[in-house]
Amino acid sequence: MTAMLGQSTVVCGSSRSDPVFALGSMPKCRYSPLLALRLVLSTKVPSEGAPLGVCKFVVDVKGQSMIFDSLASEEVHPQRDVVISIVSHGHGRMIEHLLSDLASQCAGQDCSISRVVVTLNIPEPLPRLTGWPFKVELVHNKKPRGFGANHNRALAASSESFLCVLNPDIRFFPGERVLDTLIDAAGRQEVGIAYPMQVDEAGVLQDCERAIPTPWALFLRYTASKRVEQVDWVNAACLVLRRNVWEQLAGFDEGYFMYCEDVDLSLRVRLAGLTIHRAEVKVCHFGQRDSRKSLKHFRWHVASLLRLWSSPVFYKACRLLQPIPDGRHRI
């Protein structure tokens, strides 16, 4: 199969033994030659015989080849069971309210929620574990772990067809079939991540979808109050993925303690040839934006941004993701 992609030609092998995309010249991205060279040298070449459903992208960067995998979904899962991971940092009452909201998703029909894994990242009173229409599993951390590490451990070795990452400060509106809608969306072959619209307590739409956070984009955002109207990543307050997608991507990158792990995951999904899809359903998100109030959180945010900007994922995304007319990006 051959298709034109901006200035590049994409060739995809049709056989299982030779699933290769070969990409030529791509749009330029502002980077120093030293950083480009370091990223090229640090990129690992996948082993021979990539698993079924994985394509290889071969990208020429300054005369060097950068090779990475593309997930081509094998099939849509007929099962609809989902495991949900929630991490609490002393959220106590919010956890109880959220579990009640999840129970309401099961009302009047077979419940798609198999398990809810609640991770207590710091010592706090236990939430109610019984009386729900799904199993609640509790994880106690002896010391706090990062956002991605907690969710990775909660979702490790899951057998459910779908996985959901859910913040404790999310609430569902009565009558909104949030999980059913997200599972329907995530079950589509081309979708890697499904997520809802997010509104605040006043019903105002939140900016949970954003462009790649380049230094220039952040400069415009915080100094000139200008936002690039394109969607490259979505925050991880409420995400649903197929299990095979999560496993192929190996979940969150635990090198990010807090912040930017959702950027990294979204970009890896996009680079794997899948989409991030906003479903026609909404939730309420009581986000606190702690990085603007706490020096500790601000330091975490800066450290995560520096790690992101020096990563091969960021460099590849900046080169490969191209704008399309509706403001979103595609590969």
CA distance 39 to 322: 20
Average pLDDT over residues 218-234: 71
pLDDT of 58 > 70? The answer is no
pLDDT of 80 > 80? The answer is yes
pLDDT of 33 > 90? The answer is no
264-306 pLDDT, tens digit each? 999 999 999 999 999 999 999 987 554 455 788 788 889 989 9
pLDDT of 43 > 60? The answer is no
Cα 143–146–149 angle (5° rounding)? 100
Predicted local distance difference test score (pLDDT) of residue 288: 57
Question: Can you read off the two tokens belonging to residue 83?
Answer: 């495991």
Predicted local distance difference test score (pLDDT) of residue 222: 65
CA distance 179 to 173: 12
141-199 pLDDT, tens digit each? 999 999 999 999 999 989 999 999 999 999 999 999 999 999 999 999 999 999 999 99
CA distance 132 to 61: 53
Question: Can you read off the two tokens belonging to residue 205?
Answer: 């739409």
pLDDT of 230 > 80? The answer is no
Strand partners of residue 210: 233
Strands 191-199 and 54-61: unpaired
Mean pLDDT of the chain, nearest integer: 77
Cα 152–19–8 angle (5° rounding)? 100
Cβ contacts of 225 within 8 Å, gap of 6 or more:
none
Cβ contacts of 301 within 8 Å, gap of 6 or more:
258, 259, 260, 291
pTM: 0.74
CA distance 245 to 274: 9
Dihedral of the alpha carbons of 282, 170, 100, 186, in degrees to the nearest 10: 50
Strand partners of residue 115: 83, 135
Q: Is the dihedral of CA 180, 182, 185, 186 positive or negative?
A: negative
Domains (range + CATH), the chain? 2-72 (no CATH), 82-329 (3.90.550.10)
In the chain, where does DSSP find H-type helix?
33-42, 93-104, 147-155, 178-186, 215-223, 243-249, 261-271, 295-309, 312-320
Match 């230094």 to its residue by tokens: 215
Phi, psi of 160 (to 5 degrees): -65, 155
